[in-house]
Amino acid sequence: MHKQQISESQFFFIIFVSIASLTFFSVPSQLIPMVKQDLWLSMSLGTAIDAIVALLLYRLGLKYPGKSLVQYSRAILGPAGNLLSLVVLLFFFAVCVTAIWIYSDFLSSSLLPDTPLVAFSGTLTLCSGWAASKGIESIARLSQILGTIILISTFILFATSIPVVELRHLLPQFENGVGPAVIGAMYPGSWFGICILMGMLMPHLSRPRKTLKLKVSAVLLGALVMTGYLLYSIAVMGAHMASQMENPIFVFTRITRLLIFERIEVLTLLVFISGSFITYATLYYVMAQGFSELFRTKSYKPWVYALSPLFVVLPVLTVTQKFGQWPPYLDFWFPVVALSIEGGVASLLYVGSFFRKTKR
Amino acid sequence: MKAVKAGICLMAIMLISGCWGQINFDQLTVVSAIGLDPDKNGMVRVTVQLSNPTLPVAAGGGSQQRRPFVNYDAVGITIQEAIERIQHQAKKSLFFPQTKIVLIGERLARRGLDDHLDYFWREMNQNLNSYVLVSRMPARLALDTAMELEAVPADEWRKYLEGDWKRPLQVDIQMYQFLPRLNQIGHQAVSPGIGPFNKSGKSEIMEIGDTAVFKNDRMVGWLSGEESQIVNWLTDASHSGSIHTDLAKEESVSFSLHSIRAQVTPVLRNGQLSMKVRVKGEAEVLTATVPLHYILENAMLRDVLNQQLESAVEETIDKVFRQYGSDVIGFGEALHRSMPAEWRKRKINWEKELRSLDTDISVSFRIRKSGLLH
Amino acid sequence: MTKRQLYALSQRKRDIELRLGESSDLVARECRIGQESIPALLMWIDNLVDKRTLQLTTLSPLLSLSALPSLPDEPPECLEELCRSVISAPEAKVVGTADEAVPLLMCGWTLLFLEGASGIAVIQTQGLETRGIEEAPSSTVVRGPRDGFVESLDVNVSLVRRRIRSESVRVDKLVVGSVSHTHVAILYIHDRAKPEMVEEVRKRIGKVSIDGVLESQYIEELIKDSPRSFFPTVYSTERPDDVAGILMEGRVAILVDGSPFALALPCTLAHLLKTTEDLYLAYPVATFIRWLRYVGFMMNLLLPSVYVGTLTFHPEMVPPQLLSSILTAREGVPFPVLMETLLMELTFEVLREASVRMPRSIGSAISIVGALVIGESAVQAGIISSPAIIVVAATAIASFTIPSISLSGTVRILRFGMVLLASMFGLYGIMIGLFLLGIHLSSIKSLGMPYLAPFAPFRKKEFLRMMFRIPWFVLNKNRK
């Protein structure tokens, strides 16, 4: 089978777009109330955590060139590896459902208040599923364009909102010590860590040697941009108010105005929605590809179709039923579980690969 | 193929069923101002000023024979309840996102706003960029009687508040700045006031002047225009101003002031908190009622100016801190920023701290220009 | 003697006549050549041959021949010798059987039979009436060459050849169509075009199995990648200079006999938004115009949907004064925004179609009626609001900035889709539409080249060349 190839800059933009849009929708509501002005530290710690995971995956990827996470975990751990990759894939699945849930919940409360949740999860699944079925190449190409758009619009937004910014709001730093910032790092860290999908994308890369550098710089840029957004929103509203908002970035864009346009929040939202489409499409593709490698099916496309109903329905169900109560799940369970899977899987495999090498 | 067919069917259903979330655009009526007044039993009377859409004058809109705006009011425990009642009166779909002015009646402001205003954060459609004004007369009355050059008074008020030319003597505050400060002990809210200019006997002319000072969610008093300009300097909201110094009896020199930089720093000495205020800037002579010789009298003028400004600053701070017990200058936040630990200790009794605060004020302006004369 | 009887002229004439079903335009002329008076037979199809050429190159040399160049005993040799030394037509050869000869006959060649010779001499006497070379009506330029392709393949090839006088220009001729036997020429510069590309084009054209090809569109649809896509992945142009430019870029052009439209492959979205005139204008102007065209493309696609989406879902985004104007303008208009926009769009499309079909003299009348009746009266009567008219008119004007007719048609259709999406989900719907479109565009290819090529995948050099018209002096310096 002809393997689809993505170039370095495409990989860079996939990671960047994923980081930016996941952070936009998922991180602020937990991070800002907890850490407030010091969130830059949390964000950079999150990036650091991610860089370590990326390093492990990079080494693994180089050791098993042309193989994806699912394939080399089987090579390293045998049947247990299969179980491991199943865990990873299920984790991706959970991430997807959680993220779609947050996404549709937020959009149905802000963008189109009268539209039912299922419309959002449905359209999102439709778009990303279609993209996934077209393959990673198309997703990568589109992410290049969208990534550029995100960067440009961010730049414009930051430039135009300088008049409403009051830098004083960002002080005092470390009011409650470094503690909350360090603990708060688990929120961005857990979402950034989704980039272990890099392990699945590496075989598609035309030059895998450069992966680590690209990946880290993409996460860095993404984290930088989003830290910018979060700090801007605090600087505009003040930490007190920003921490009460469900999504402070959204409110920040409501306050900012661009020339004669007073309400540009919808435009910003749209930019990030398109970013989410790319993110979910990538996750979706990776999942389908992973499942097909795990169960050794011929093509990944049936998996795309098989997964789609779940993505439409599950996020809606979680809201109606008690299972997905907001606070404990997102505040604690999700980040903890995510971090342990992301870090755990990578280090387990890494250690395992050494073991295997010495045995030979 | 089946999927395509299903998709088409779904789309058709959505189209025919009239879709969700669509706004009936033609029923839209822009709310240009919201007025809030107190009513019995803690209720609130909400006045909504609906503006009739007008064509710009350039497009022949000048000759329209319609009322440019209509006011409706209703009473409710919450703003939302009152607005629902208004909905029945107006029979149109009220369009809030472009509200220009939120007018708070002085009586309501003095009664306390906290119960009502969270509506403006929560409600998606409210405009966080609307300007907050405190009305000396009931807001309902102010909205009814105001006459401005523009058809809809709120438009005119907003443009005025947005503009830069008014800044020296006028605070301006938008909803998103106003709301958080209602709960912020370290930096309390201020808001420009509006009231009838009664001296000529015409009540429909509204003057935007003075400044309402809030303590928490309650308004506690007014500041005059000159005092507001000092508050503006100290909060870094404006960097220019004007002052009329009294040289002698009935003799005065007017200055315009530029490039003002004010610094408010908390100083802690032996457990005693004091406030250091440094104001620097440049002045320009605009007019004088006495013949001046700039070169000779430069130093004298400067000293008079600095002296008078210094006492004005002191008086303002005194009034705000001692009389009103409200920290509109944001001194608390300044302390919070520089000494968070100290702030945590003192914020519980912040009002008491304010009243007993030592102030160290110094003002240094230099006169840069004297107009076309010397 | 038996040999002569075997190839009796009357029999062979009958044979050909039967093949053509005794078609009345088949002309047979008998003559005797030389002192030996050997009977010969000329056959051609009336109107396909140029009679003057026929007379000059074939008839008169034959008839004035005094002696046959070779011995009459070996007639096949004799026929070849005739072609070599007597017949003065530029092309003449001997073919063995009637099966080979008849297709040539149908192309306007003349068949020469000689008593006793088994072969058939075929002589090129084709003389088709062609249109003179005129300015291409589909793409006129202010500055630049004014010749356009005509319906004759040979003329068209000559127009291209005339511009690139290089030995490396290759012209491959193929015949397509089981009934029409249309000649198709593949043009490329062999040291610039990638060989696998040319091979692929040849393979694709070779695979075509169709009765007739009346226009290059037939070929286009049959050889294009992802044929279901709305987007044209084959470039078509009426201008020889355009084709010459395409060849120089290393792309492959296809000329089809009977159509003034040449095809070119590969063709990406950016190619469709470029015109040859860009290269003839001063570089700042050309760059500006190119940017305008990109803006026009987006406007054409999105303007009505953004109008509908913003007004019905996000009116707060409209600046206050504008909102007030739109509200006043819409007062009393009976149609909701969506319906009004769709109605006006449809009206415009009808108007456009009508003005294309109309004879040119009436076309202007149509546009006057359209502009007056719909633009003026509908607003005056309060049936349609003026903002809707403005939006539709702006869209219409923007649609004319797209140089490619096929792309502009695609965008016109997609525009309606966008409006429907916008009416369902507002700007979110437009976002969905754009995303789906983006995924589609980035998944299709044209002859191996990604459709969004210089943008995604990003290629810096080509991207710059696409966004800016690089002045020639810069390119010149680079080469040194």
C324 and C190 co-located in one domain: no
Q: What is the DSSP letter of C426?
A: T
- Which residues of chain C have a CB within 8 Å of the CB of A141? 442, 450, 452, 456-457
Alpha-helical runs (H) found in C372-443: 378-380, 386-399, 405-425, 427-443
Subunits with 3+ Cβ pairs within 8 Å of A are B, C
pLDDT of residue C303: 92
Whether C90 shows a pLDDT value over 70: the answer reads yes
B336 vs A109, A172, A255: nearest CB:
A172
C428 and C292 co-located in one domain: yes
Query: How many angstroms separate the CA of residue C211 from the nearest CA in chain B?
Result: 29
Instruction: Answer yes or no: do A240 and B128 touch at CB < 8 A.
Output: no
Predicted TM-score (pTM) of this structure: 0.86
Query: How many angstroms separate the CA of residue B371 from the nearest CA in chain A?
Result: 31
C327 vs B22, B28, B59: nearest CB:
B28
B21 vs A114, A244, A254: nearest CB:
A114
C259 and C389 co-located in one domain: no
C263 and C301 co-located in one domain: no
Instruction: Answer yes or no: do A270 and C457 touch at CB < 8 A.
Output: no
Interface test with C, best of A266, A273, A276 (most C CBs within 10 A): A266
Q: What are residue C264's DSSP bridge partners?
A: C235, C253
**Complex prediction ipTM:** 0.89
CB C224 within 8 A of CB C233: yes
Q: Over the stretch C251-282, which tens digit does the pLDDT of each residue have?
A: 999 999 888 999 998 888 888 888 888 888 88
Instruction: Answer yes or no: do A115 and C442 touch at CB < 8 A.
Output: no
- How many domains is chain C built from? 3
Could you tell me what percent of chain C has a pLDDT over 90?
A: 8
The amino acid that residue C405 corresponds to is I
Chain B CB within 8 Å of residue A251 CB: yes
C115 and C162 co-located in one domain: no
Chain A CB within 8 Å of residue B124 CB: yes
Q: Does residue C188 fall inside a structural domain?
A: yes
Whether B16 shows a pLDDT value over 70: the answer reads no
Among C52, C45, C55, which Cα is nearest to C16's?
Answer: C45
Among A39, A344, A11, A340, which Cα is nearest to A188's?
Answer: A39
Whether C5 shows a pLDDT value over 60: the answer reads no
pLDDT of residue B203: 61
Chain B CB within 8 Å of residue A178 CB: no
pLDDT string in tens for chain A (360-residue length): 456 778 888 888 888 888 888 888 877 777 777 777 788 888 888 888 888 888 888 888 888 777 777 778 777 777 777 888 888 888 888 888 888 888 887 887 777 777 777 788 888 888 888 888 888 888 888 888 888 888 998 888 888 888 777 777 777 777 777 777 777 777 888 888 777 777 788 788 877 777 788 888 888 888 888 888 888 888 887 777 777 777 788 888 888 877 777 778 888 888 888 888 888 888 888 888 888 888 877 787 888 888 888 777 777 776 554 444 556 677 777 777 877 877 777 788 788 777 776 544
* Distance, CA of C295 to CA of C401 (rounded, Å): 9
Instruction: Answer yes or no: do A262 and B338 touch at CB < 8 A.
Output: no
Query: How many angstroms separate the CA of residue A62 from the nearest CA in chain B?
Result: 41
Instruction: Answer yes or no: do A264 and C317 touch at CB < 8 A.
Output: yes
Q: Which two tokens stand for residue B172?
A: 């301006």
Q: Over the stretch C412-439, which tens digit does the pLDDT of each residue have?
A: 889 988 998 888 888 888 999 999 998 8
Tally of helices (H runs) and strands (E runs) in chain B? 12, 13
C306 and C231 co-located in one domain: no
Owner of token pair 């870029």: C249
The amino acid that residue A123 corresponds to is T
A57-74: string of b/e by CB count within 10 Å (b at 16+)? bbbbbebbeebbbbbbbb
Mean pLDDT of chain C: 84
C305 and C444 co-located in one domain: yes
Highest mean pLDDT among A30-39, B283-292, C307-316: C307-316
* Distance, CA of A155 to CA of C338 (rounded, Å): 34
* Distance, CA of A3 to CA of B34 (rounded, Å): 62
CB A251 within 8 A of CB A93: no
- Which residues of chain A have a CB within 8 Å of the CB of B97? 263
Query: How many angstroms separate the CA of residue B11 from the nearest CA in chain C?
Result: 9
Question: In C, residues 326-345, which contact B (CB 8 Å cutoff)?
Answer: 327-331, 333, 336-337
Instruction: Answer yes or no: do C314 and A266 touch at CB < 8 A.
Output: yes
pLDDT of residue C295: 92
Nearest residue of C to residue B127 by CA position? C316
Instruction: Answer yes or no: do C442 and A142 touch at CB < 8 A.
Output: yes
Instruction: Answer yes or no: do B183 and A240 touch at CB < 8 A.
Output: yes
C291 and C261 co-located in one domain: no
Cis preceding-peptide flag for A172 (omega within 30 of 0): yes
CB contacts < 8 A, A to B, total 49
Q: List, as one string, the DSSP characters of C110-129.
A: EEEEETT-SSEEEEE-B---
Q: What is the DSSP letter of A205?
A: B
Query: How many angstroms separate the CA of residue A262 from the nearest CA in chain C?
Result: 7
- Which residues of chain C have a CB within 8 Å of the CB of B55? 324-325, 328-329
Q: Which two tokens stand for residue B362?
A: 């110094």
C428 and C397 co-located in one domain: yes
Q: Please, what sign has the CA dihedral across residues C262, C267, C268, C270? A: negative
* Distance, CA of C281 to CA of C191 (rounded, Å): 28
Owner of token pair 């649809």: C221
Among B13, A141, B238, B58, which Cα is nearest to C459's?
Answer: A141
Q: What is the DSSP letter of C37?
A: T
Chain B CB within 8 Å of residue A114 CB: yes
C352 and C252 co-located in one domain: no
How far, in Å, are A91, B34, B148 from residue B203 at the CA level? 69, 20, 12
Q: Does residue C272 fall inside a structural domain?
A: no
Instruction: Answer yes or no: do B55 and C320 touch at CB < 8 A.
Output: no
Q: Does residue C334 fall inside a structural domain?
A: yes
C243 and C388 co-located in one domain: no
Q: Over the stretch C158-181, which tens digit does the pLDDT of each residue have?
A: 999 989 998 889 899 888 888 888
C359 and C425 co-located in one domain: yes
Query: How many angstroms separate the CA of residue C316 from the nearest CA in chain B?
Result: 6
Interface test with A, best of B337, B345, B347 (most A CBs within 10 A): B337
CB A47 within 8 A of CB A27: no
Chain C residues contacting A, CB < 8 Å? Answer: 313-314, 316-317, 319-320, 425-428, 430-432, 434-436, 438-440, 442-443, 450, 452, 455-458
Question: In B, residues 345-364, which contact C (CB 8 Å cutoff)?
Answer: none
* Distance, CA of B30 to CA of B161 (rounded, Å): 20
- Which residues of chain B have a CB within 8 Å of the CB of C321? 56
CB C433 within 8 A of CB C418: yes
Domain of C242, in residue numbers: 153-267
Q: Please, what sign has the CA dihedral across residues C476, C279, C290, C142? A: positive
Q: Does residue C147 fall inside a structural domain?
A: no
A142 vs C316, C317, C456: nearest CB:
C456
- Which residues of chain B have a CB within 8 Å of the CB of A171? 336-338
- Which residues of chain C have a CB within 8 Å of the CB of B98? 316, 320, 323
Q: Does residue C4 fall inside a structural domain?
A: no
Q: Which one of C105, C123, C141 terminates a domain?
A: C123
- Which residues of chain B have a CB within 8 Å of the CB of C425? 21
Q: Does residue C48 fall inside a structural domain?
A: yes
Instruction: Answer yes or no: do C435 and A9 touch at CB < 8 A.
Output: no
Q: Which one of C267, C290, C316 terminates a domain?
A: C267
The amino acid that residue C19 corresponds to is R
Instruction: Answer yes or no: do A168 and B338 touch at CB < 8 A.
Output: no
The amino acid that residue B15 corresponds to is L
**Taking residues C467-474, what's their average pLDDT?**
83
CB B279 within 8 A of CB B260: yes
Instruction: Answer yes or no: do B15 and C424 touch at CB < 8 A.
Output: yes
Q: Over the stretch C194-216, which tens digit does the pLDDT of each residue have?
A: 898 899 889 888 888 888 888 88
Owner of token pair 């160049």: C69
- Which residues of chain A have a CB within 8 Å of the CB of B340? 172, 175
Chain C CB within 8 Å of residue A111 CB: yes
Q: List, as one string, the DSSP characters of B8-71.
A: HHHHHHHHHTT-SS---GGGEEEEEEEEEEE-GGG-EEEEEEEEPP---GGGTGGG--S-SEEE
Q: Does residue C479 fall inside a structural domain?
A: no
Q: Which one of C209, C237, C267 terminates a domain?
A: C267
Interface test with B, best of A37, A125, A237, A305 (most B CBs within 10 A): A237
A127 vs C316, C435, C442: nearest CB:
C435
Interface test with B, best of C316, C321, C322 (most B CBs within 10 A): C316
Q: Over the stretch C390-404, which tens digit does the pLDDT of each residue have?
A: 898 899 888 888 888
Q: Over the stretch A213-232, which tens digit does the pLDDT of each residue have?
A: 888 888 888 888 888 888 88
SS3 content of chain C, % helix, strand, coil (to 5): 55, 15, 35
Query: How many angstroms separate the CA of residue B244 from the nearest CA in chain A?
Result: 30
Whether C445 shows a pLDDT value over 50: the answer reads yes
Instruction: Answer yes or no: do A241 and B180 touch at CB < 8 A.
Output: yes
Q: Which two tokens stand for residue B21?
A: 């979330």
Q: Does residue C132 fall inside a structural domain?
A: no
